[in-house]
Amino acid sequence: MIDRNDCEALDHSTDRTGDSLAGFSARFASGPPGTLYLDANSVGPMPLAAPEHVGRALDQGWRVARRRGWNETDWLDQPAALGASLSRVLGAGAGDVLVADSTTINQHKLLHHALGLNSPRNVVVVERDVFPSNRYAAQAAVALRSARLRDIANAGELGQALAAGDVAVVALSLVDYRSSARLDLVGLTRLIHAHGALALWDLSHAAGAVAVALERAGADFAVGCGYKYLCGGPGAPAWLYIHPRHAKSAVWPALAGWMGHADTFAFDPGYRPAEGVLRHQSGTPAVIANAAMSAAADIWRDVDPHILDARHRSLTDLLIRLVDEQCADLGVTVASPREHAKRGGHVTLRFGEVRGDGDAGALAQALVDAGVVVSSRKPDALRLAPHPLTARHVELWDAVARLRALLLSGQWRDPRYRRASV
């Protein structure tokens, strides 16, 4: 049995190793003492420098520079510069990542890009139970251009779905938003390519938590959320990736705009796409949101993805073991894969007692009230997501102890906790 001292020892030992990430937690702001944040799958922690970066954009930018900001500051360079800063943790080339718009908007951009690139094939393959926004994007994209959608129940059906040779693009989430099950990025991309299709990956629940290597995997396209593990701030701009093999393509962006023109300030009446990802800039950059994200981007440039991955593994393997040891007798089971390489950022728990719609939400809310910030997904998934750059092993001990106490007390069944949870 692991005890709290063992967890403290784990923290001290990782603090001491020369290649540790110990210094990084000091680059993030802390919440109130006693609150344990296991919600990096929803909103990652705030870099300490974020208020200063945003404050500068407001005061020196908006108040003083006003329109001079477009010429005299980095406002117009941010989307590419932020993308370059994130490229290391994504395993991508510095020029192949762009930060702009939302994950859903970027899904639309790249679904259409893939359909354009792989014409006349016109089938889009998606999982039936993928995160709904990804599904809605695929449904709307095929409706718009008279293409076709092909549902699969899971990635195991992919070979069959590809067999007819009519698939233009397969859009997959690398990590399931409920169970945290992680797909095989390399193997599935290879399978997709073997059938002449293109691979569009959503890395929202992986990027910034575990090591991913987009370019090495040969992924054609990828998108991901900016505000989860990447710590860009709530509702931060998302990112998108295009493999360099497609950089010179002549395919127009579906959402063409002035910022993605090959020569924006020529004010050419005819659209000509910029190279690679840059063409997927549509409107004016979100200057203030980008300033918030720039604080995280500064950190990501310094993070070795392999050390990040090892730290994430150390934390989440411990979390699983603590749940096994302290909560199995209360009917708690680990619903995420036990092998780290098959998991994404969070660990999902299920409970014998939690069956009806809203039960997981009530338990999550009760845990929040007990100072452990977690999230749930209907019907029964409780998600715990420590951020590898800030979480300490001992916090996981404390969180699991509070979970056990809550289950023992039965307090979470109080009707006041039965409200929706995001």
Three-state DSSP class for residue 85: helix
Cα(232)–Cα(101) distance, integer angstroms: 13
Strands 221-224 and 239-242: antiparallel
Sign of the torsion formed by the C-alpha atoms of 141, 143, 144 and 149:
positive
> Using CB under 8 A, which residues numbered 200 to 219 contact its own copies?
none
Give me the least distance between CB of 121 and its own copies, in Å please.
Answer: 16
Tokens 């969070």, located at residue: 346
Please pick, among 150, 182, 350, 383, the residue that the annotation labels catalytic: 383
- Is 131 a known active-site residue? yes
Q: Which is nearer to its own copies, 281 or 336 (CB)?
A: 281
- Is 37 a known active-site residue? no
Q: Is 108 in the site for its own copies (CB under 8 A)?
A: yes
Q: Which is nearer to its own copies, 175 or 373 (CB)?
A: 373
- Is 136 a known active-site residue? no
Does residue 367 contact residue 38 with C-beta atoms inside 8 Å?
no
Identified binder of its own copies from the candidate list 18, 33, 156, 270, rule CB under 8 A:
270
Three-state DSSP class for residue 149: strand
- Interface characters, 366-405, with its own copies (x: CB under 8 A): --x----x-x-xx---------------------------
Q: Is 236 in the site for its own copies (CB under 8 A)?
A: yes
Does residue 223 contact residue 239 with C-beta atoms inside 8 Å?
yes
Identified binder of its own copies from the candidate list 23, 196, 234, 244, rule CB under 8 A:
234
Cα(369)–Cα(372) distance, integer angstroms: 7
Q: Which is nearer to its own copies, 91 or 237 (CB)?
A: 237
Q: Which is nearer to its own copies, 43 or 175 (CB)?
A: 43
Please pick, among 24, 28, 37, 131, the residue that the annotation labels catalytic: 131
Q: Is 287 in the site for its own copies (CB under 8 A)?
A: yes
Give me the least distance between CB of 235 and its own copies, in Å please.
Answer: 4
Tokens 């890009």, located at residue: 113
Give me the least distance between CB of 381 and its own copies, in Å please.
Answer: 11
> Using CB under 8 A, which residues numbered 73 to 92 contact its own copies?
75-76
Q: Is 120 in the site for its own copies (CB under 8 A)?
A: no
Strands 148-152 and 123-127: parallel
- Beta strands in 319-360, from DSSP E residues, in sequence order: 332-334, 347-351
CA 149 to chain centre: 24
- The letter for the amino acid at 244 is P
Q: Got the DSSP string for 298-341?
A: HHHTT--HHHHHHHHHHHHHHHHHHHHHHHGGGTEEE-S-SSGG
Of 22, 2, 113, 5, the residue nearest 308 (C-alpha): 22
Identified binder of its own copies from the candidate list 4, 12, 13, 68, rule CB under 8 A:
68
Identified binder of its own copies from the candidate list 23, 132, 187, 196, rule CB under 8 A:
132
Give me the least distance between CB of 323 and its own copies, in Å please.
Answer: 20
Backbone angles phi, psi at 122, to 5 degrees: -145, 25
Please pick, among 96, 202, 309, 380, the residue that the annotation labels catalytic: 202
Q: Is 288 in the site for its own copies (CB under 8 A)?
A: yes
- The letter for the amino acid at 57 is A
> Using CB under 8 A, which residues numbered 28 to 67 contact its own copies?
29-32, 35, 37, 39, 42-43, 45-46, 50-51, 54-55, 57-59, 61-64, 66-67
DSSP code for 61 = I
Q: Which is nearer to its own copies, 55 or 356 (CB)?
A: 55
Q: Is 102 in the site for its own copies (CB under 8 A)?
A: yes
> For residue 303, what are its two tokens?
């993070």
Please pick, among 27, 178, 228, 279, the residue that the annotation labels catalytic: 228
Cα(255)–Cα(414) distance, integer angstroms: 48
Q: Which is nearer to its own copies, 218 or 273 (CB)?
A: 273
Site size toward its own copies, by CB under 8 A: 93
CA separation, residue 224 to residues 110, 159, 307 (Å): 12, 25, 21
Q: Is 253 in the site for its own copies (CB under 8 A)?
A: yes
Asked if the peptide bond before residue 379 counts as cis, ω within 30 degrees of 0, the response is: yes
- Beta bridge partners of residue 125, listed in sequence order: 150, 170
Q: How many CA atoms within 13 Å lie on the side-chain side of 198?
A: 25
Q: Is 411 in the site for its own copies (CB under 8 A)?
A: no
Q: Is 362 in the site for its own copies (CB under 8 A)?
A: no
Give me the least distance between CB of 178 and its own copies, in Å please.
Answer: 10
Give me the least distance between CB of 134 and its own copies, in Å please.
Answer: 9
Cα(406)–Cα(400) distance, integer angstroms: 10
Catalytic residues: 131, 202, 227-228, 383
